[in-house]
Structure 1
Amino acid sequence: MPVRIPDNLPAAEILESENIFVMSETRAANQDIRPMRVLILNLMPNKIETETQLLRLLGNTPLQVDVDLLRIHDKESKHTSIDHMNTFYRDFEHVRHNNYDGLIITGAPLGQIDFEDVVYWEHIKEIIDWSQEHVTSVLFLCWAAHAGLFHLYGINRSLLEQKRSGVFNHTRTSEPHPLLRGFDDEFFAPHSRYAEVNINDLHQHAEIEVLAQSPEAGAYIALSRNNRNLFVMGHPEYQKNTLNDEYQRDLGLGINPKIPSNYYRDNDPSQEPIARWHSHGSLLVSNWLNYYVYQLTPYDLSDMSAMTPWETKK
């Protein structure tokens, strides 16, 4: 939340140059405040687990957030009861005429399938296109980040020889940047995917800015120049045991997976995993909500044309 300060306080200019959110008394007195409306398109098999992970991150911000849950189709889920889906999830036809402050599109277990071969690919494209007119900012996670980069900017991914799973060290490529406010120079984040977008393709694209990357895991955070689309190639929402659950599942399927990198103590799966990404995961989502949703979204969501350009907020 912003720090309210007297009009024309000299410290304001310094604080704003450091991306500290300050607000003059005059602006604060005339500000209308309402809850942020965030839509979550949940593509993960275990809906309840993913809901909990994302809501935990959204709940770490002091902003009030109203959440709607969206499903990609009404077919029965193997991992979530139909009663849960019918009770808590909405179909796209029920929200397509709404506007939202934010949209989160989750990952999906589709890393080895060509986008055009995904059974609901046309529906995914429709929702992404809709979001560019009806949502202030979109957060794409893992598979969704690859899908969004491909559909919106024509940047394709390539399959990896082996699944990239583990917790990797990352560095910031841009400083200062509002999205990375409070980040350490180096930080950890989990990845779990079968494909990768070439980092050079991202760096060379005029409409994309890479904000964080890893020598082992490649690009992690990329942002569109118009600030509408945030692409996170990993899983900041994962909990401590999520990678272990995936590893044990793959072992049970006979896939013979690699041990997740930098995850178990002494790299020994019989020992406890080490969680070292929760703080930066929470900070990433909080900064996104603050700088790219709350500060840019119009008070009246019926008029998305009133969205404030980021340049006027610097």
Structure 2
Amino acid sequence: MTVSEIVGDLLSEGLVAELGPRSEGRVGKPAMMVGLRASEHFVLAVELQSQPTARAAVLDLGGTVVHEETTDLGGRGSGGGLPGMVDAHGVVPESANLGWREVHLADHLGARLGTGVHVANDADAAALAEFTYADASTSGFLLVAIGRGVGAGLVLEGNLVRGHGLAAGEIGHLTVNPRGPQCSCGRRGCLETCLGTAHLLEAVAGRTASGRRTALREAGRRLGAVLAPVVAALNLEEVLLTGPAELLDGPLLDAAREFVAGACLPATSGAVDLRMARLGGDGVLTGAAALVLSGEFGFG
């Protein structure tokens, strides 16, 4: 009865459509199949990496990008991903890369737009997108987003894990080299200082092909050292990387995979699949559609 009422509400709101009765051999009236009218409803998605520039796109509820542009944000948005911690109400307690603290982003944008606004950490949004639209593991996976910074989204048994302090997946500021370069957070040798895109580009600049491989493999080993305890503790099925494929998909990914295999027992490391995320650079924007499905309609 509860399911019928929910489906009735969705039908009346034009969010789902009847697809016809299910063909089955059971006695009684056949069940009516319904499906999401994904191409008839749209989400404005915004990816925040630096201010005031933002990457914005219009997507349907099936995660298909209809229009995209890079623009000055100017207060617009309805679903979004950004680097840093975000609570369930769209409040940003802290974002080191954006220099934000206690920003009530969802409330600010909602008041300007007069519509529902959903905000998530960029890596969390990308993880939701991989789970909702790209068939990522239902039992457990970690998505590592590498760009200006480094963050991760963790999904276990179909649920996004935020952590008690909203910091689940904040691996970018783990110290991997105490004598390393200074990080934007003020400490030295954080993972971001060897794995962030700018640092990877600097590490391979002007090098021979062999030197480039060496530099990328070293960064991959640093990443593997961070991943191995997580893989072992949670017995993850997959670890996905998203970011510039020309830097990540090759020696870096191979070295991370080898480190995890060597550091963990075969029972845990042998089962994990380290690979590139299928949605690539569109993961955060696509995750906005997944955010709306979950936040507005309770499914996704």
Instruction: Give the TM-score normalised by structure 2.
Output: 0.37
